[in-house]
Structure 1
């Protein structure tokens, strides 16, 4: 089924639209399993969800969260780590319980065992009800870089040069990034619903390629063309090259 494409006037309205999907899901299924990204793109979404929590419009106490990815070599207490950002931007403001979230530990001595731990947690939870994704300039989804096989579950990823460069924006000083640990493309495909959010002119050619290219591991975001229920939630600038 081709992805649904929803284009909004600006970042604020796209964030509201994405938040409304999460709120609707929790209304329908309070115990939903939701895989969350960190970083700059979902900030607006998180602000909307925190506001919904404060107003009592939504209740996160019964749901399960899965972290999308993490930089190898960084832990939850390291400034700029994916867990650090997600804690500050969303989890702490909603008063989450630690037992509600499974998140990759970038400091784990055995990253492969860490991958298996997250795979098992997702399987035991009954799979992902919703996965929320951004998209990299090279088409990566989570830290599934170009060339990643589509049948992968959680795995260690060798970071693309573009990812290493763009990732620096989350740190106050130059930080060496070589490897990531991430949910796999197969997790994305098996999620009941996948939402990709993107904003700004820089993402317009990325979105165009994701939706128009033949599906290829060279551009991981293209796999969403084959998802059973995926949606691109964009602002006008990110969607400007779509017909």
Structure 2
């Protein structure tokens, strides 16, 4: 099953479309459970969501936010952590209360128990209404690295070398990145809607592979072909190698 593909002229238009998807969900279900990523790709989406909130066009007062992933060993006050970035780029500007935010504690004494905690909370909430994802150069979704089994919920991962290297861009000095803690592939597949965001030429081959066969744990992004309601939101550069007619986009 090929996910829906929407290609936009530039990053700004892609980001606005992503924000519109989130706002549409909130208008339909104000208490939606939404899992959003940190990092550089969603910054434009966050900017649009913050603007909509400040203008009174988006109401986050009843929704629940679930963090996508975190570096093991880092907490919300550590520069470059997932919590640090998403607090900076989004959460602090839309006035979410503490009880609306569920996030991995990368400094938890036992990260495996932390996974159980998150799994239990998400299950009790009835699962995710929406999960928004970026995609790594190695095809990872969240921190589900190549080789991750499809049946995983939240789990601890040994980081792929590609992730260790690319992850350095979030830090002002070299960081020791060895493990991550992440929402699992089953969380992605069971979310009512999954949206993947990608922009730039460096993601073109990644997107091409994500939409190709075989669907395999060796390239986790291909699993979105198995999702019942997935959409790829791309800028023109990221979508430049997709071989579809206009009727498919």
- Smaller-chain TM-score range? over 0.9
In the TM superposition, structure 1's runs of 4+ consecutive aligned residues that sit over 2 Å from their partners are none
Q: Distance in 2 between matches of 1:143 and 1:99?
A: 25
Residue 2 of structure 1 deviates from its aligned partner by 2.2
Where structure 1 has 5 or more consecutive residues not aligned to the other structure, the ranges are: none
Partner residue, 2:60: 60
SS of equivalent to 2:211 = helix
Partner residue, 1:195: 195
Partner residue, 1:71: 71
Residue 95 of structure 1 deviates from its aligned partner by 1.2
Partner residue, 1:37: 37
CA offsets, 1:71-98, max 9 Å, x none? 0010111111000000000000111111
Partner residue, 1:3: 3
CA offsets, 1:15-68, max 9 Å, x none? 000000000000000000000100000000000000000000010010000000
Alignment of structure 1 residues 128-143 onto 2, 5 Å: 128-143=128-143
Alignment of structure 1 residues 54-133 onto 2, 5 Å: 54-133=54-133
Partner residue, 2:49: 49
Q: Distance in 2 between matches of 1:213 and 1:86?
A: 33
Alignment of structure 1 residues 149-160 onto 2, 5 Å: 149-160=149-160
Q: Distance in 2 between matches of 1:49 and 1:79?
A: 23
CA offsets, 1:92-145, max 9 Å, x none? 011111110110000000111100010011111110000000000000000000
Q: Distance in 2 between matches of 1:204 and 1:79?
A: 29
**TM-score w.r.t. length of structure 2:** 0.97
Partner residue, 1:22: 22
**TM-score w.r.t. length of structure 1:** 0.99
Q: Distance in 2 between matches of 1:60 and 1:108?
A: 28
